């Protein structure tokens, strides 16, 4: 299985996927966050789904986002399109907080999710979603983000992110989670 890809975005496809060139091999990846610009280097956590007639790749900013996607797929009535819509609609921390708070109205604001599906998501996932590792944004990352012009509230949204030990990678993870500016 493919667990991650690092490469250059070479195309946007009509189905919302991107093509990532990794050493002259193009991978079609359905991404959860906003599509990065062509020519941008991406580092994606990947979920590979093998079906009878196709292999699908889903790309995420980090493994925390991938984990939430997997949990959403385990909910009856939620398929990949709905799970991707959830992650495109709101940051992982906000989605997790809405589910944990039982806020099915906020969950129902996700495109393609009606009141019954929202209630099902809350019922099935409340108390079961993984939490980020440690919570606190590494000090060096927080300072770098402040210098880049991010507000304290934006930086606090990152408290659910699973942080890699390498500070450079942690900053890249933070920028992906914030959607770059």
Domain residue ranges in the chain: 4-60, 63-125, 139-176
**pLDDT per residue as tens digits for the range 17-47:** 999 999 999 999 999 877 789 999 999 989 9
Domain 63-125 annotated CATH 1.10.150.20: yes
Q: Residue 104: CB partners within 8 Å, gap ≥ 6?
A: 115, 118, 119, 121, 122
Buried b (16+ CB within 10 A) or exposed e, 5-34: bebebeeeeeeebbbbeeeeeebebbbbbe
**pLDDT per residue as tens digits for the range 128-148:** 876 554 456 777 777 888 888
For residues 121 and 99, the answer to whether their CB atoms sit within 8 Å is yes
- Supply the pTM of this predicted model: 0.69
CATH superfamily of 4-60: Nucleic acid-binding proteins (2.40.50.140)
**pLDDT per residue as tens digits for the range 72-123:** 998 998 999 999 999 998 888 888 888 888 898 999 999 989 999 999 999 9
């Amino acid at each position: 299985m493919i667990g991650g890809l690092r490469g250059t975005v070479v195309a946007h496809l009509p189905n919302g996927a991107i093509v990532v060139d990794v050493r002259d091999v193009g991978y079609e990846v359905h991404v959860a966050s906003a599509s990065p610009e062509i020519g941008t280097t991406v580092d994606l956590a990947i979920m590979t789904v093998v079906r009878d007639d196709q292999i699908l790749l889903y790309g995420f900013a980090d493994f925390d986002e991938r984990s939430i996607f997997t949990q959403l797929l385990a909910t009856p009535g939620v398929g990949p399109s709905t799970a991707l819509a959830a992650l495109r609609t709101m940051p992982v921390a906000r989605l997790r907080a809405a589910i944990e708070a039982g806020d099915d109205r906020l969950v129902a604001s996700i495109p393609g999710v009606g009141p019954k599906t929202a209630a099902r998501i809350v019922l099935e996932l409340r108390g079961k979603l993984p939490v980020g590792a440690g919570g606190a944004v590494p000090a060096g990352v927080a300072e770098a983000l402040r210098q880049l012009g991010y507000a304290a509230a934006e930086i606090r949204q990152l408290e659910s992110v699973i942080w890699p030990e390498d500070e450079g990678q942690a900053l890249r993870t933070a920028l992906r989670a914030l959607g770059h500016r």
